[in-house]
Amino acid sequence: MVRTKAPPRTLEERYPNDKYPNDKYPNDKYPNGPPQISLPRRLPLVSNNRIFNDHTGRPALMSWESSGVCPLPPLASWVFYMVHPDVPRDFDGCIFQNGLEDGEPQVRGGRFRWEFFFLPGATTEECHEHYRGELKARGTIWRHIRKVKRAMKLEKQKSHQPVEDDPVEESVSGLGSTKPESSSDEEAIANNQQLPGLVWPKHDRDCSFVMYRGWFFVYPHANIDCRGADGAAREIDIVTFDPINQEDEWGEDEVRTFDPMEHPIHVTRKKAREDYEQGVKEWMYRRICSHWERSADEATDDALKLDWQSW
């Protein structure tokens, strides 16, 4: 009969000492008992709220959450237009975000910043005109993504690390132009507030089921608390613009139920949260894990590694 030594099953058996005597394991091997494992201190979750001026000079707000104080806002973003005359101007944007998520934050994708523009009584068309002006003034996220990639490449060269060439991005039109990403990225260099650019998907597949390349949200209520049943029922407009031609998506015999090319600006009104993935929260969730979001999140991580404090 072969006798085998049973493996230790607990910390006390693995690291016995006088406090936990065990005849099967000698006490003199670990006189101090289990080792003390020191984990890094968990940083508190911080709500960052930054007031800035939009391209017209009006005060606006951007908000993002971070582990510890983080002055660098994420590149990925959602943009809201607060159009009710009585909406407070000094609210915590992270509280608005948490209220919309109602205790169920996104479980995939990276970090987002939330931007709020205050245009009391503005129409959808006026919000769209303002958004285009902001986009022209600040450019898109791709300008910053290229900037981060260049900086990371230089850092690797300084430390003699191998540098891999990035694959060439496909040429796709943006901002309504026939050139990739448009000239607004070059024009935006003059921006002296070092504000991050706005989202503009390069790839049509990132806009599947949306059929538009641009979007923002219009919040028409004075009460910004979206928690609970009352908050879930609050309606928010999703404004999509710059349609993508769907000519190749339809079969010859199919009847087109909606042609985005006939509606340059389209408004969909949804509740904040709704069953069967019909709410605004779920609409956002389906936009995550796309090419633009992954690229923006990777650039944000790299910029933090470079210790950037602003864009």
Per-residue pLDDT band for 89 (boundaries 50, 70, 90) equals confident
State the amino acid at position 136 in one-letter form.
K
pLDDT confidence of residue 14: 65
Domain boundaries, the chain: 45-148+193-247+260-306
Stronger pLDDT, 216 or 6, i.e. the higher one: 216
Stronger pLDDT, 307 or 183, i.e. the higher one: 307
Residue 5 has pLDDT above 70, yes or no: no
- Give the mean model confidence (pLDDT) for residues 64-87: 96
Cβ atoms of 218 and 237 closer than 8 Å: yes
Query: Residues 283, 288, 292, 297: what is their CA dihedral angle, to the nearest 10 degrees?
Result: 140
Structure tokens at 34: 């289990």
Per-residue pLDDT band for 161 (boundaries 50, 70, 90) equals confident
Which pairing describes strands 113-118 and 77-82: parallel, antiparallel, or unpaired? parallel
- Closest alpha carbon to 102 in 278, 273, 284, 224: 273
pLDDT confidence of residue 176: 44
State pLDDT tens for residues 215-264: 999 999 999 999 999 999 999 999 999 998 876 666 666 666 788 889 99
pLDDT confidence of residue 175: 47
Cβ atoms of 80 and 117 closer than 8 Å: yes
Residue 28 has pLDDT above 80, yes or no: no
Residue 109 has pLDDT above 60, yes or no: yes
Residue 186 has pLDDT above 60, yes or no: no
Listing DSSP states for 179-231 in one string gives SBT-THHHHGGG-TT-PPPBP---SGGGGTTT-EEEEEEEE--S-----HHHH
Percent of the chain with pLDDT over 70: 71
Structure tokens at 249: 């998506």
Whole-number CA gyration radius for the chain: 26
Least confident residue range of 9-13, 50-54, 261-265: 9-13
What is the side-by-side order of every strand in the sheet holding 113-118? 45-53, 59-67, 113-118, 77-82, 212-219, 235-243, 265-271
- Closest alpha carbon to 117 in 65, 76, 58: 58
pLDDT confidence of residue 275: 81
Greatest alpha-carbon pair distance for the chain in Å reads 88
Listing DSSP states for 283-298 in one string gives HHHHHSSSHHHHHHHH
Query: Which CA distances in Å does 10 have to 7, 47, 160?
Result: 9, 41, 46
pLDDT confidence of residue 173: 42
Task: Tell me what the pLDDT averaged over the chain comes to.
Answer: 83
pLDDT confidence of residue 192: 58
pLDDT confidence of residue 2: 56
pLDDT confidence of residue 168: 44
